[in-house]
């Protein structure tokens, strides 16, 4: 009957037989409760470890993404500077790009390089020896490959006595085919 009083159950409602079984059941429930509490603590620590790993992974990902974006922006800035240097008549655009201060250049959301023209104009004023006196076409600056312009002149006269026999026969058949 002690067990009933421990549990707060009136003694007149509990029979002695039931009390013996209840002690075992209560003890078994306490053991199960302790196991469940231990499992909860283990699960909480596993969840905390997973959250810490997730935060670390997100931090690493964010850093790598920032590095990639910075490298991409720098490549775009360098390409824009080389292009603008060529347009301004730079003798060697790579040297011009290396010598200018690129710290003020930024790339906006649309991919437009802000300040490139100003930086190159300032470099052209400060280091005029890197540029032609006037910006010319690509053919003049040596940055574009093109065929030479046709030259006006007299057409070369045809002399049948100076060509080979095969060429003479071909020319003869072309002449006869026109008639």
CA 74 to chain centre: 11
Residue 107 has a pLDDT of 87
Cα(131)–Cα(88) distance, integer angstroms: 7
The answer to whether 76 touches 111, Cβ cutoff 8 Å, is: yes
The answer to whether 85 touches 96, Cβ cutoff 8 Å, is: yes
Residue identified by tokens 């030259």 is 151
Residue 88 has a pLDDT of 85
Q: Spell out the domain ranges in the chain.
A: 2-141
Summarised one tens digit per residue, pLDDT across range 18-39 is 556 678 888 899 999 999 999 9
Cα(50)–Cα(19) distance, integer angstroms: 46
Cα(60)–Cα(40) distance, integer angstroms: 30
Tokens representing 83 are 């292009």
Residue 106 has pLDDT above 70, yes or no: yes
What percentage of the chain reaches a pLDDT higher than 70? Answer: 79
43-52, 110-119, 126-135 — most confident range:
43-52
Tokens representing 42 are 């283990």
Query: Would you give the end-to-end CA distance of the chain in angstroms?
Result: 138
Residue 46 has pLDDT above 90, yes or no: yes
- pLDDT band at 1; cut points 50, 70, 90: very low
Q: What's the sign of the alpha-carbon dihedral 26, 28, 32, 37?
A: positive
CA separation (Å) from 124 to 85, 103, 174?
9, 17, 60
Give the pLDDT mean for 61-85: 92
Residue 37 has a pLDDT of 95
- Look at the chain and count its residues: 179
Cα(38)–Cα(44) distance, integer angstroms: 10
The answer to whether 100 touches 81, Cβ cutoff 8 Å, is: yes
Q: E-assigned strands of 49-177?
A: 106-107, 113-114
The answer to whether 75 touches 116, Cβ cutoff 8 Å, is: no
Residue 144 has a pLDDT of 60
Residue 154 has pLDDT above 90, yes or no: no
Write down the mean pLDDT value for the chain.
Answer: 82
What percentage of the chain reaches a pLDDT higher than 90? Answer: 25
């Amino acid at each position: 009957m002690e067990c009933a009083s421990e549990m707060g159950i009136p003694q007149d409602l509990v029979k002695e037989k039931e009390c013996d079984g209840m002690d075992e059941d209560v003890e078994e429930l306490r053991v199960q409760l302790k196991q469940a509490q231990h499992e909860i603590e283990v699960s909480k620590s596993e969840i905390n470890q997973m959250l810490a790993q997730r935060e670390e992974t997100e931090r690493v990902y964010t850093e790598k993404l920032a590095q990639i974006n910075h490298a991409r922006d720098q490549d775009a800035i360098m390409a824009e500077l080389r292009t603008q240097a060529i347009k301004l008549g730079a003798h060697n655009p790579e040297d011009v790009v290396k010598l200018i201060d690129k710290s003020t250049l930024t790339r906006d959301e649309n991919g437009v390089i802000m300040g490139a023209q100003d930086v190159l104009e300032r470099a052209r004023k400060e280091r005029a020896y890197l540029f032609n006196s006037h910006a010319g076409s690509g053919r003049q600056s040596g940055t574009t490959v093109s065929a030479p312009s046709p030259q006006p002149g007299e057409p070369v006269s045809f002399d049948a006595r100076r060509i080979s026999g095969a060429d003479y026969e071909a020319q003869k058949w072309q002449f006869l085919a026109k008639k």
